[in-house]
Amino acid sequence: MNVYIHLALAYLKKQRGRTIALVLGVALAVMLVFGTNVISESQSRNQLANIYKMYGTYQGIFTNLNKDLTEKIKNDKDVSKSAVAANLGNLVTDNGISMILNSTDKDYIEMNGYTLIKGHLPNKQGEIVLESQALKKMGLKEKLGETINFKIKKEIKMKTA
């Protein structure tokens, strides 16, 4: 066994160029295989992070629930978090821009990853929180206490007999 090791080391010393090329080739192959795995894994994690950032961390949505059902869901032991949002219609500005207007609770804001930059959540009649993108679309500056005029457009479906 010692003879084989001695011969291999003697060959590697004699053929320095080939030895360096062999070591570099093996190292590059290992880095290439490992690198592609790392890149694909980090890409998957980034996509997942972007999904949570865009759509929040919720796993289901129920629509058109009454107050009793929302309370039942909130008190269910199998539901870890729940939030309530009500579609109030579309907010239409004077310059014709239309945006969805929702009334939500604090949990909804937290679950969707929103953070309050200035001010506080609405606690009086007539107060509203707007995203910075909505302010830009409306042509308004990020200023607290400003009066905003807009119309609310709501589609109502009537059942006929």
Q: Which residue segment(s) compose the domain that 14 sits in?
A: 2-55
* Complete edge-to-edge strand list for the sheet that includes strand 98-104: 98-104, 85-92, 151-153
- Structure confidence at residue 57 as a pLDDT band (50, 70, 90): low
pTM here is 0.53
Q: Are 58 and 119 in contact (CB under 8 A)?
A: no
Residue 159 lies in a domain: no
3-state class (DSSP) for residue 81: coil
When pLDDT is cut at 50, 70 and 90, the band that residue 150 belongs to is confident
| Per-residue model confidence as pLDDT tens digits over 59-114 | 777 888 888 988 898 888 888 888 888 888 888 887 788 888 888 888 888 877 78
Give the closest residue to 134 by CA, choosing from 159, 85, 87, 98.
98
Both 41 and 90 in one domain: the answer is no
For 78, phi then psi, to 5°, come to: -85, -10
64 occurs within a structural domain: no
Residue 13 lies in a domain: yes
For residue 66, give both structure tokens.
């009454």
Half-sphere exposure of 30 (CA within 13 A, CB side): 6
Are 45 and 89 within one domain?
A: no
pLDDT at 47: 92
